[in-house]
Structure 1
Amino acid sequence: MNADDDILARRLAVTLAQAATALPGPPDGALGAVRRRFDRRRRRLRLATAAAMACVALATAATVAGPYLGLRPSPAAPPDGAIDLWTLDVAERNPGLRDRIDAYDRDSGVGVRLSTFGNDAYKTVLAAPWPDPAPDVYENWGGASLAGPVRAGRAADLTDAVAERPEVAGALLPGVLAGARVDGRLYGLPMTGVQPVVLFYHKKLFADAGLSPPRTYADLLRAVDVFRDRGVTPLALAGGERWPALMYLAYLTDRLGGADVSAAVAAGRPGAWRQPALARAAALCQELVRHGAFGDTADVLRYDSGDASRSLADGRAAMQVMGSWEYGSQLHSDPAFAARDLGWVPFPTVAGGAGDAADLVGVPANYLTVDARSPYRAEAVDFLLRTVTSDRYLDGLLEAGEVPAVRDLEPRLAGRPHADFARFAHGLAAAAPSFTLVWDQALPPAVAGELLDRTAQLFRLEITPEAFVAAMAATG
C-alpha cells in the first residue's frame, strides 16, 4: 500500500466509524442482532485491506452517514461546528459519556460528535502522519502515545486550565494524573477507570480442582500442571494479538528485578534490555509455555473478538492475565458468570525477586487529550473539565464495570452490585508503590512493534531468552 492509499484507507476508516456511530440505537429483536453483528465485524476490520474493502462498505453505509459524507444532514447529528471526539469502541459501554455529550450539546451550543474504533484500527488511524481529518479530542494511553503528539504540537497543555479548577485535580488520583504528564506538564485527563493487569480465574474450576488462586509463581505453575492434566487450558492467552503475552513478560520482569528495572525499560534507557531480570523473566515465560500453560489454541485466540474471555467464562480455560477491563467485558458479555464465578487476585510474586508485591503493571488510565490545533480548542478543554469528574460520568464508569480514578471512591459504591471488584482494583491503584505503563504503550511505536514481534517469537519458542534480549538491546 503506497502513501496515498494509506491516507485514503485511514480517511475511509474514520468515515465508517462516524457512519456506524450515527446509526440509531438498535431495537429489541432481529434488527438489534444485525447491528451487534455489524459492530463485531467493524471491530475486526483490518486497515491493511481497508483501501479495497472500505469502498464497498462505504456504499452500504452511505444511507446512514449523511452528516459525514456531505449528504442530507441527519436530524440527530450535532451542528456543523462540532467537537470531533475519537475513542476506542469500549467507550460506548459508559452511559455517562453519552449523557455528558448530550448535556454539552444542549448547554453550550457546540456539538460533540463521537466516533469509535476497534483497538487495531485506532492505532493505525492515529499513527503518524497526523490524521486528516483530525479529531479535536482523542483517546490515548499516555506514554509514547501521548509524548508523540505533544512533540508534534498536537496536544494542548492542560496544566493551567486544571489548576484553575481545583475540584477536578483534587478529585483524581495523583498517580493516574502523572500518566498524562510530559516534561512535567499535563496533557490529558483520565477517560477510563484505573486499569491494573491482574489474574482473573474461574472460581468453580478452582473449587472442583481443590485449588486456591495462585499467589506465587510456584502456585501458578502448580495450577498449570493440575488444569492441564484435567483437560482444561490453564491460561487463556489471546496470542492472535501480540500484546496479551507481553503482560507476562513485563510483570515477571518487575517481580524479579523491581520497579526500577521496569521503569528503565518503559523509559527506553540505555542498557535497560540487558538487565539480568529480563532474561530470567523471558525464561519463566518459556517455562510456562513448555508446561502447556496456554493450550493449543493460543496462536489463534483474539481478545478484541472476545475469544479468550469466552474461553474463561465457559470453563474451557481456568485463568486469564488481563487488564481490569476484563471485568467490564465479562459483565457486558456474560453477567451471570461475572456475578457468580469470576474471581481475581494480584499477579503472582516470584520467590527471591526484588520486586514489591504491590507494584502494578497495566494502564493507569486511558486519557482524553485536546488537539492543540483544534479550532474548538477552548470548547474542547471546557468539555473535558465538565465531563471527566462529573457525577454522571463517574457513575457511568461504575455501571460499565470500570473503577473511576478518583481519590474518594467508597461513597459511590453504596448499593452497587460491582463494589467488590471496584474496591479491589481501586485499592491496588491507590496503594501501588509503582504503576508501570504496559511497555507496548510506553515505548515509541517502532520499538514497541519490535518488542511485540520478539515477544511472539519468545512464546512460540522460536528464540531463546538470550536472543530475545540481544534483539531488543539492538533497538537502542
Structure 2
Amino acid sequence: MAGIPLAGLSLAACGSAGPGSSSASTGATYWSLTGQPQEGIRQATVERFNAANPDSTIATTVFQNDAYKTKIKTALGAGEAPTIIYGWGGGGLRTYVQADQVEDLTDWFAQDPQLKDRLFASSFAAATVDQKIYAVPCEAVAPIVLFYNKALFAKVGVQPPKTWDEVLALVPAFNSQGIAPFSLGGQSRWTNMMWLEFLFDRIGGPELFESIYAGNKDAWNAPASLQALSEVQKLVKANGFIKGFSSITADSNADQALLYSDKAAMMLHGAWTYAQMKDSAPDFVAKDLGFVNFPTVTGGKGDPSNTVGNPGQYLSISAKASDTEKDVAKKFLSTTLLDTTEQKAWIDSGNIPVVNGSDSLIGDSPDAAWLQFVYQTSSQASTFVQSWDQALSPASAEVLLDNIAKLFQLSISPEQFATSMNAVLGQ
C-alpha cells in the first residue's frame, strides 16, 4: 500500500519550496511529498533547522506521490539525487543499497545510541538491509487495525473477536441479521493483502514472511503459508465480506462508509482511516467506533502484540552527496527531525510519531483514546511487519497483488497462489 497512509496520490510534480533554496552549495537538499498536513509539518521542521543553522541550510523540493517515485529513481540512476531521500524503507530501500546509492548509517547510530533508542525499536526492521541501517525512521506510524461498529455489535449481542475462531463464529451471527460481517474495498487489492499479513504472522510468526522477504526457496509453500491462505478463503466462502467486495474501492472510502452507515460490522484497515472517518462521520467516530488488534489463531506462533502496516516513513542520505552535505543532513536528522514541536504537530493531526514517549504529548486531545491505542499497539509490538507491497520489490509486489485478488475471488487455490509467488521470490 505504498504511499497510501500519509500522502494523497496524484501525478504532477511541484517546484522547490522553503528557505535555503539558494544555499544548497553550503547545505543540503531534501526531496519529499506534497499533501497536507504532512507537507506543512515537514516544511516547518526544515524551517526551524534553517533558522538555527543559517550557514548550512536545507533546500526542499516537493513532488506529488507518483511523480516522486519516478523522479527519485531517475535522479539516483543519474547520480543527481538530493542529499536527503524520502522513502518507505523495505524493498525500495534494498534496491538503493544494492546499487550503492545510499549511505550506511550503522556506525553513525552506534556513535550516539540515543538517536536510535528514542525511536520505536520496531521501526528499524524496514530501515535495515543485511543487518545494516540505511535510513532513519521518521514521521508517524500506521498500524493496521480491526475497526468495529459498537452499535451493530450491541444489536446482535456479541463481543469483538479475540480469536480467529470467534471471527468465523461472528460471520453467521451478523449475516443472519442482514449485516455484512466485514467491509472490504477489494478492488484496490492491497486492502485484501492486510488480511494475509496478519494471518501469516498469527499462524507462522514473523519468521514466515522474513523467509519470503529473504527469497528462500519455496518460502510461500511453507505449511503455515498454505494454512493462512486457506483460512482467508474459508472466510470468503462463508460470506464473511460484503457482497460485491471485489468491485468496491478503498480510494473512494466506500469501504469506510459501509462501516459507519451500519452496512458492515467490522473493517480491517489502516490507522489513517480514523481521521477520514472522523471527517465524514464525526458522530459515529465519537460514539460507535471501536478498535482492537487482530485476533490470535489457536496454535499459531505469532505474538498477539505483533502488528502489521507502516512502521514509519524513512529518510536516507545519498551516498553520492559531498561530505559537507552529509554532515548537514546528519545534523538535521539528529537535532531537529522529530523534535518536540514536530511530534506535537503529528499528534495534533491525529497521528502518533515514531518516538518513544510521544504519548506524553497527547494530553486532553478529543482523540486521546485512539491515539493511546495506536501508541501502545506500535510501541509495544514485538514485531511490526511492514506492508508487503512496500517490503518486497516493486516487481514482486505487483505479482503479489494480482495473485491476492485472484485468491479472494476464489479463482486460484492456495497451492496455485504459492506456486505463482515462489516463481518471483527474490526478484
TM over 0.5: yes
Partner in structure 1 of residue 117 of structure 2: 170
Cα distance per residue 1:329-374 (max 9 Å; x no partner): 3345544433332211111122232333222222222212222224
Query: Pairwise mapping of residues 340-351 of structure 1 onto structure 2 (< 5 A)?
Result: 340-351=287-298
- Tell me if the contact between 1:235 and 1:293 (Cα under 8 Å) persists in the aligned partners: yes
Cα distance in 1 for partners of 2:169, 2:283 equals: 28
1:186 aligns with 2:128: no
Q: Aligned runs of 1:451-462 on 2, under 5 Å?
A: 451-462=400-411
Question: Aligned match of 1:200 in 124, 147, 150?
Answer: 147
Asked if 2 retains the 8 angstrom alpha-carbon contact of 1:89 and 1:116, the reply is yes
Per-residue CA deviations over 1:96-121 (Å, capped at 9, x if unaligned) read: 43321222343334344252434x56
In structure 1, C-alpha distance between the alignment counterparts of 2:266 and 2:33, rounded to whole Å = 26
**Residue 45 (structure 2) pairs with residue 100 (structure 1):** yes
Alpha-carbon displacement from aligned partner over 1:249-287 (angstroms, at most 9, x marks no partner):
121122222232232123222231110111121111112
Aligned partners of 2:311, 2:179: CA distance in 1, in Å?
32
Work out which of the residue numbers 339, 343, 359 in structure 2 matches 1:394: 343
SS class of match (2:193) = helix
What SS class does the counterpart of residue 246 from structure 2 fall into? Answer: coil
2:233 aligned residue = 286
2:9–2:64 CA contact under 8 A, matched in 1:
no
> CA distance change for structure 1 residues 127 and 468 in 2, over 3 Å: closer, same or farther?
farther
Matched, 1:441 2:390: yes
Instruction: Give the Cα–Cα distance (whole angstroms) in 2 for the partners of residues 424 and 77 of structure 1.
Output: 37
SS of 2:241's partner is coil
Matched-pair contact (CA < 8 Å) for 1:125–1:131 = no
Moved more, 268-277 or 121-130: 121-130
1:171-217 residue CA offsets vs partner (Å, 9 max, x unmatched): 11223234312233322222232332221112222222222112122
SS in 2 for 1:367: strand
Aligned to 1:240: 187
Distance 2:244 2:75 in 1: 36
Q: How does the TM-score come out when normalised to structure 1?
A: 0.77
Structure 1 residues 322 and 412, CA gap change in structure 2 (3 angstroms): same
User: Which residues of 2 match residues 350-361 of structure 1 at below 5 A?
Assistant: 350-361=297-308
- 2:48–2:336 CA contact under 8 A, matched in 1: no
Q: Is 2:259 the counterpart of 1:317?
A: no
1:158 equivalent to 2:105? Answer yes
Decide whether aligned partners of structure 1 residues 331 and 191 sit closer, same or farther in structure 2, where only a CA change above 3 A counts: farther
CA distance in 2, matches of 1:229, 1:317: 13
1:424 alignment partner, SS class? helix
Is 1:420 aligned to 2:369, yes or no? yes
Residue 310 of structure 1 aligns to a residue whose secondary structure is: helix
Paired with 2:264 and 2:22, the residues of 1 have a C-alpha distance of: 49
TM-score of the two chains, using structure 2 as the length reference: 0.85
* Aligned length, in residue pairs: 411
Correspondences of 1:236-315 after superposition (within 5 Å): 236-315=183-262
| Identical positions, percent | 33
- With over 3 angstroms needed to count, the CA separation of the structure-2 counterparts of 1:337 and 1:86, relative to structure 1, is farther
Superimposed CA distance per residue, residues 286-309 of structure 1 (whole angstroms, 9 cap, x where no aligned partner): 122222233234233333443323
Residue 184 and residue 279 in structure 1: after superposition, are their counterparts in 2 closer, same or farther (change >3 A)?
Answer: closer
Which of 157, 166, 179 aligns to 1:219? It is 166
Q: 1:259–1:166: structure 2 CA closer, same or farther, 3 Å change rule?
A: closer
Deviation of 1:434 (Å):
2.6
- Give 2:229's aligned amino acid: A
Moved over 6 A (4+): none
Q: Distance in 2 between matches of 1:380 and 1:456?
A: 41
SS in 2 for 1:385: helix
Task: Give 3-state SS (helix, strand or coil) of 2:202's partner.
Answer: helix
| Superimposed CA distance per residue, residues 192-251 of structure 1 (whole angstroms, 9 cap, x where no aligned partner) | 323322211122222222221121222222333333343433322222222121111121
1:378 corresponds to = 327
| Separation (CA, whole Å) in 2 of partners of 1:135 and 1:231 | 54
**Distance in 2, Cα, partners of 1:321 & 1:405:** 22
Preserved CA contact (<8 Å) 1:94 1:393 = no
Query: Structure 1 stretch 97-106 or stretch 338-347: which is displaced more?
Result: 97-106
Q: Which residue of 2 is the match for residue 149 of structure 1?
A: 96
Q: Aligned-residue CA RMSD in angstroms?
A: 3.0
Give the distance between the partners of 1:122 and 1:242, measured in 2 at CA.
22
Q: Which stretch of the first structure deviates more once superposed, 292-301 or 447-456?
A: 292-301
Of 355, 367, 375, 1:406 maps to 355
